Chains A and B, each alone.
Chain A
């Protein structure tokens, strides 16, 4: 079946620290991969995506590379800000499917 596993949170960092949130997946076929972000009390916003192996998605200083050999899509940012505090969800869309499969989310808190 299809599944996504994210590192357990919460994650607490100081401003300007380096961020990594691990995400691994199990999927049939060739999935597309996504990172969504959810700010407190709001819906989800797409942060970045990658649709094939070795693609790198990037947005707002965040990056993630689609690694088929390790079935991973880790989220990274070189220098986090207080405004990055949110819950981050890794997700996949199985090839040819309209549905998304989500990880459980990782809560990030950035302190000044």
Chain B
């Protein structure tokens, strides 16, 4: 089955620790995205990548970092610099076409800072 997997589903972190969220896709999509979802605020874009070894900041990139060493993988690191990291994190992917951009989403990771 083609799709996007995120792991873990639930993640707990102590303050001051960095943590990495995994996102893998086998859809052969060029572009991948990370969103943060908070209650009542919809989805906000953290980072996105259109091709391997290249990525751009989204609207709320501060305190986060990413890498794109393989087409299939786009891990997100939540650093200790992120002031309020508790949230639901969603990864998505799409073909890089420039038009009709349908994004496919993973099941999400819920991060809780203790």
Q: Is B96 an interface residue (CB 8 A)?
A: yes
Indicate if the CB atoms of B43 and A32 lie closer than 8 Å: no
B48 touches A99 (CB 8 A): yes
Bound complex: CA A46 to CA B103 (Å):
8
**How big is the B interface, by class?**
20 to 34
CB distance from A90 to the nearest CB of B (A): 9
Give the chain A neighbours of B42 by CB distance below 8 A. Answer: 89, 102-105
Q: Within A76-112, which residues are at the interface with B (CB < 8 Å)?
A: 89, 93, 95-100, 102-105
Residue picked from B90, B92, B103, B107, most chain A C-beta under 10 Å = B103
The answer to whether B48 and A32 touch across the interface, beta carbons within 8 angstroms, is no
Q: How many A-B residue pairs have CB under 8 A?
A: 61
Q: Does B100 make an interface contact (CB < 8 A)?
A: yes
> Does chain A have a CB within 8 A of B106?
yes
Question: For residue B92, which residues in chain A have a CB less than 8 angstroms away from its CB?
Answer: 44
8 tightest Cβ-Cβ pairs between the two chains A and B: A43-B105, A104-B42, A93-B101, A44-B105, A102-B42, A102-B43, A43-B107, A43-B108
Which positions in B face A, CB cutoff 8 Å?
Answer: 4, 6, 31, 33, 40-43, 45, 48, 50, 58, 90, 92, 94, 96, 98-108
Q: Which residues of A contact B (CB under 8 A)?
A: 32, 34, 36, 41-46, 49, 51, 89, 93, 95-100, 102-105
